[in-house]
Every structure is written in C-alpha cells, then in structure tokens.
Amino acid sequence: MEFQSSGRGHFLLEHAAPFSAFLTDSFGRQHNYLRISLTEKCNLRCQYCMPEEGVQLTPKSELLTAQEIITLAKLFVKEGVEKIRLTGGEPLIRPDVVDIVVIDEDYYLNGR
C-alpha cells in the first residue's frame, strides 16, 4: 500500500503529465524517485565514509545553492518525480536546510 499525503501528493496525482522519457532507463523502468544530497559533511566518523585521515570536501563555491536545489527539484517534479529524499552526510547541518524543505504551497497546490 502506498501512502500519499492529501496536499502535494493529491495534486501530483490529479495533474500528472505523461511519464517522461528522461526518467525512463534503457530497461524501460520508470524512475519517479529522486535523492538530492544536501551536504557531504557529517558529524559522525563512520569508517567507510569519514576515515580518521579525513576526506577532501567539495569547495563551497561548487555546491548547489538552496535556490538551485529547489529549481532542480521542481524540474524533476514536472518530469514525473513523485518523491524526493534529501540526503547527505548529515543534511540537517546545512545552514539553509529550512529554506530547502519548506514547501512552496502555491507551486504544489496550484502547479505554478
């Protein structure tokens, strides 16, 4: 059983466009799920991703801004993505995480 929220999920189901070829792989599988990594920083020291000697992190100037992430997410939703998971080393340590996760009600409820 799949759970859909009454707001955004209901809108997406009612206004779904034909599934995008962009999100269909060479085996014909349709991918309606997107993972966006918000950060590679983490406050844990797991051996497999944060060894004791550390790792070289991407310069801040090369990371997507909050607005770029929101724009990217909206573009994928228009192509058929129904679920977005925000991930990363520890996504909640990103200073602008609230700006990214706040739902733009006008966009989701009215399709703008």
* More confident call, 46 vs 36: 36
Residue 80 contacts by C-beta under 8 Å, 6 or more apart in sequence?
16, 17, 19, 20, 23, 30, 32
pTM higher than 0.85: no
Average pLDDT over residues 45-60: 77
Q: How does pLDDT run across 67-105, given as a tens digit for each residue?
A: 999 899 888 888 888 888 888 878 888 889 888 887 654
What is the pLDDT confidence band of residue 3, given thresholds at 50, 70 and 90? Answer: very low
